[in-house]
């Protein structure tokens, strides 16, 4: 009897371990996603890659539009969750491309997607206790403008005054908004913080996503990818 109980417990442990490391369910009716890293991808390429990933790795993956850019492009997130059956896990949220000209950052975000799913065995520990929400193109209008018109473009593409366009999304959040230096209120400056906090649909989308994660208590880490220099910036901290 004792041996039987031990065997049952052992079998349960094996099942739990097995479920814990269960590989992504793949849909072989669609081609396997191939992440191309030999050139920077266009907005259309990125959307298509996410769609293929969503179909191929369904139901590990869901695609959620969290809003639209000023020029009506999708702000598409990919939500990655392993199939261990645990609901309401903590969430790591990553965005990329807030600054349009930092082309490497959407590529890095897509690489993370590819690694979490395509190299599941090696990276299973990253999904064990966390779901991931990744927004690879947080500023798609600016990204396309940077690719096609002005390589050094940094901001959104919403119109300001005097034929000047764009808001610096990093400065558009409601944290000491517009404080610091005069260019933040210059609609023709690349530092422009916008006409008011959250004047841009792109920052609103990120704000609302984060508020959801705060409300549910699931949000544990936010990573915003930039490529200005080799630094890690921690959140703005100040005393009231």
What residues make contact with Zn ion under the rule CB under 5 A? 99, 226
Query: Closer to Zn ion at the Cβ: 103 or 111?
Result: 103
Query: Closer to Zn ion at the Cβ: 74 or 226?
Result: 226
Token pair recorded at residue 233? 């910036």
Determine the Cα–Cα distance for residues 13 and 18; give it in Å rounded to an integer.
8
Cβ atoms of 219 and 210 within 8 Å: the answer is yes
- Report, in Å, the least distance between residue 136 CB and Zn ion: 15
- Report, in Å, the least distance between residue 168 CB and Zn ion: 9
- Report, in Å, the least distance between residue 99 CB and Zn ion: 3
Q: Which of 67, 147, 66 has its CA nearest to residue 106?
A: 147
Query: Closer to Zn ion at the Cβ: 73 or 99?
Result: 99
Query: Closer to Zn ion at the Cβ: 190 or 212?
Result: 190
Cβ atoms of 113 and 53 within 8 Å: the answer is yes
Q: Are strands 74-80 and 61-68 parallel, antiparallel or unpaired?
A: antiparallel
- Report, in Å, the least distance between residue 153 CB and Zn ion: 12
Query: Closer to Zn ion at the Cβ: 53 or 169?
Result: 169
Instruction: State the burial class of residue 16 (Cβ atoms within 10 Å of its Cβ: 0-12, 13-18, 19+).
Output: exposed
- Report, in Å, the least distance between residue 170 CB and Zn ion: 6
């Amino acid at each position: 009897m004792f041996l039987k109980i031990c065997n049952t417990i052992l079998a349960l442990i094996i099942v739990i371990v097995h479920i814990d490391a269960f590989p992504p369910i793949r849909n072989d009716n669609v081609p396997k996603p191939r992440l191309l890293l030999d050139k920077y991808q266009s907005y259309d390429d990125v959307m298509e890659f996410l769609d293929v990933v969503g179909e191929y790795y369904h139901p590990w993956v869901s695609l959620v539009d969290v809003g639209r850019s000023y020029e009506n492009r999708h702000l598409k997130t990919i939500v990655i969750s392993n199939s261990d059956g645990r609901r309401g896990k903590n969430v790591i949220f990553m965005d990329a491309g807030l600054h349009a000209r930092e082309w490497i950052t959407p590529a890095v975000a897509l690489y993370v997607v590819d690694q979490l799913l395509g190299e599941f065995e090696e990276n299973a520990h990253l999904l064990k206790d966390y779901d991931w929400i990744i927004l690879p193109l947080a500023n798609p209008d600016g990204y396309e403008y940077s690719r096609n018109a002005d390589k050094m473009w940094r901001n959104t593409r919403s119109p300001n005054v005097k034929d000047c366009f764009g808001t610096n999304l990093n400065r558009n959040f409601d944290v000491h908004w517009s404080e610091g230096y005069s260019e933040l209120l210059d609609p023709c400056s690349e530092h422009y913080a916008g006409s008011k906090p959250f004047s841009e649909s792109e920052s609103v989308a990120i704000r609302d996503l984060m508020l959801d994660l705060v409300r549910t208590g699931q949000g544990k880490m936010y990573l915003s990818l930039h490529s200005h220099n080799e630094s890690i910036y921690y959140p703005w901290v100040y005393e009231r």
